[in-house]
Chain A
Amino acid sequence: MSEPGPPQSSIRDGVRAGMPFAFASFALSVSFGVVAQPLIGTWPTIVMSVIVFAGAAQAASLSVLAAGGAVPAAVIAGLLVNARFLPMGFASGPAFRGRKLKRAVDGQAIVDASWAVSSRGDGTFDRGLLIGGTIPQYIAWQLGTIIGVFGGSLLSHPDRLGLDAIFPAFYLALLFHEIRRGEALGVALAAVAITLVLLPVAPAGVPVVVASLTALWGLRRGW
């Protein structure tokens, strides 16, 4: 079956396209390593980065655990953050090729930056950019975590470096991208309002869960 549209980029092209994002991944994962190590220990921090490889979700689960939240709340917080990979996976799904197991494995390459850079803008996705773009980010993520885990103990007060501002800034950067793509601003503002109202009264993680329900606003749109 011949493929309509532009030709696929190679994995090598994708690796090149992913390099700038690897720097952001590195900065984020260093801060994750620094913050996570005192809370959950050296090996859990490293293993979490290797097998979960989703910065926002790792941080979300961690902040629930650190705040004394239960395991289900921590898992739900992390999975809610990763829930965006569901529509992203469905949008880019047709670009994946091969048997089911291969598609499942290749789908693990879906991360925010690679997914965005692989979008051709016409509703189709470039598989080479998506998979290749994730490779340098994955490597940078592991290196950064390890450096953060072992280097963090050298810092007596990591907060002095402002590392705790990295995650909100990264979420804001991703949010900027989302809002440019649609009428999501109202939903985002409502989610912020709900979060701030619930923060002092609800258990850890719950404000994010409840705020996600603002997405139901989408039901009001046309059929």
Chain B
Amino acid sequence: MVSTANIWTTIAVLCVGTVAIKASGPVSLGGRQLPQRATHVIALVAPAVLASLVAYETFANGSDGITVDARVVGLAAAAIALTLRVPIAFVVILAAAATALARAL
């Protein structure tokens, strides 16, 4: 259990920050545009962060270090489903099912 003060502080700051991030484009853009070099970098932030999170959520074990466990099976199932253009709702369910199956075996 994490300390209560830390939990609420994290939630509050994350909320304010997220609201500000989401509001900034709609509020500030009256047809204005960012410099092209900036948009090139910004456009790559999402793939960089998402790819990192895929690795982080698949291999992190809660302390330090890398763990290879049944989550890898789930991720592989998700990858196959995505290349077959399976809808996202089924992709996440398939990933969970594949992981559960791998743990049961």
Contacts of A168 in B (CB 8 A): 53-54, 57-58, 71, 74-75, 78, 95
CB closest chain-B residue, reference A167: B57
Residues A216 and B51 in contact in the complex (CB < 8 Å), given A40-B2, A41-B7, A172-B79: no
Would you call A93 and B29 a contact (CB within 8 A)? yes
Would you call A165 and B93 a contact (CB within 8 A)? no
CB closest chain-A residue, reference B33: A90
- B56-93 interface code vs A (CB 8 A; 1 in, 0 out): 11111011111000110111011100100001110111
Would you call B18 and A162 a contact (CB within 8 A)? no
A82 CB, min distance to chain B CBs, angstroms: 5
Task: Determine which residue in B27, B50, B55, B104 has the highest number of CB atoms from chain A within 10 A of its CB, and name it.
Answer: B50
Complex partner residue of B64 from A44, A83, A90, A200, CB under 8 angstroms:
A200
Would you call B64 and A201 a contact (CB within 8 A)? yes
Query: Known contacts A24-B87, A162-B97, A222-B36; can you find 6 more A-B pairs with CB under 8 A?
Result: A54-B18, A56-B53, A89-B22, A89-B24, A96-B26, A188-B51
4 cross-chain pairs, A with B, having the tightest CB-CB distances, nearest first: A89-B25, A165-B74, A93-B29, A162-B99
Q: In the assembly, what is the distance between CA of A89 and CA of B22, in Å?
A: 6
Would you call A84 and B53 a contact (CB within 8 A)? no
How many chain-B residues does the 8 Å CB contact rule pick out?
82
Contacts of B74 in A (CB 8 A): 162, 165, 168-169
Residues A52 and B18 in contact in the complex (CB < 8 Å), given A65-B10, A66-B2, A107-B27: yes
Would you call A218 and B23 a contact (CB within 8 A)? no
Contacts of B39 in A (CB 8 A): 87, 90
Contacts of B47 in A (CB 8 A): 175, 178-179, 182, 184-185, 187-188, 191, 215
Would you call A83 and B49 a contact (CB within 8 A)? yes
Would you call A79 and B64 a contact (CB within 8 A)? no
Residues A165 and B26 in contact in the complex (CB < 8 Å), given A57-B14, A75-B17, A83-B49: no
Would you call A223 and B43 a contact (CB within 8 A)? no
Q: In the assembly, what is the distance between CA of A110 and CA of B18, in Å?
A: 11
- A13-46 interface code vs B (CB 8 A; 1 in, 0 out): 0000000110110011001000000111100100
B43 CB, min distance to chain A CBs, angstroms: 6
Contacts of B18 in A (CB 8 A): 52-54, 57, 78-79, 82, 85
